[in-house]
Amino acid sequence: MALLDHLGITVEDLARAKEQYHPILEALGYTCGFDDGSSVSWQRGDDTEFIIYPPREPDSGPHRHGRVGWQHLAFAVDSREEVDRMHAIALAAGRTPVRDPKEYPRYTDRYYASFVEDDSGIRLEFMHNPPADAS
């Protein structure tokens, strides 16, 4: 059973956000479920669903990292090369780099990650942190 069933995020511009999320989620194995103009969703098998919504209040964004609310969502991937690949896909989809792929020894000596933001200020991380006994 998945620990997280679904995640809904409000974005400033639904069409633009779809352009920025679709290539990333597709590369992570998600497929677009519905797109009815009031929201867009992606799902990975029968597991976690990812949904974006337009704002209910105009001019309420963008989100500012570090304020109360959203921090970031980290996607664990299988290798450092996959972190690099996902980072490149995110940049090609129009995301802004926050931190290019690099090691983060303050977490573990194996932690490798990158961070990107979309136009709404929503931050994603792509990370690889293999178990200590994996060489």
- Return per-residue pLDDT of the chain as tens, 135 residues: 457 788 899 998 899 999 999 999 999 999 999 899 899 999 988 878 899 999 888 777 777 777 767 788 999 999 999 999 999 999 999 999 999 999 999 999 999 999 999 988 899 999 999 988 865
Contact 70, 125 (CB under 8 A): no
Q: Which of 79, 81, 130, 82 is nearest to 107 (CA)?
A: 130
> What gap in Å lies between CA 107 and CA 127, rounded to an integer?
11
Amino acid present at 108 = T
| Whole-model pTM over 0.85 | yes
Angle at which helix 80-92 crosses helix 14-27, to 10 degrees, equals 160
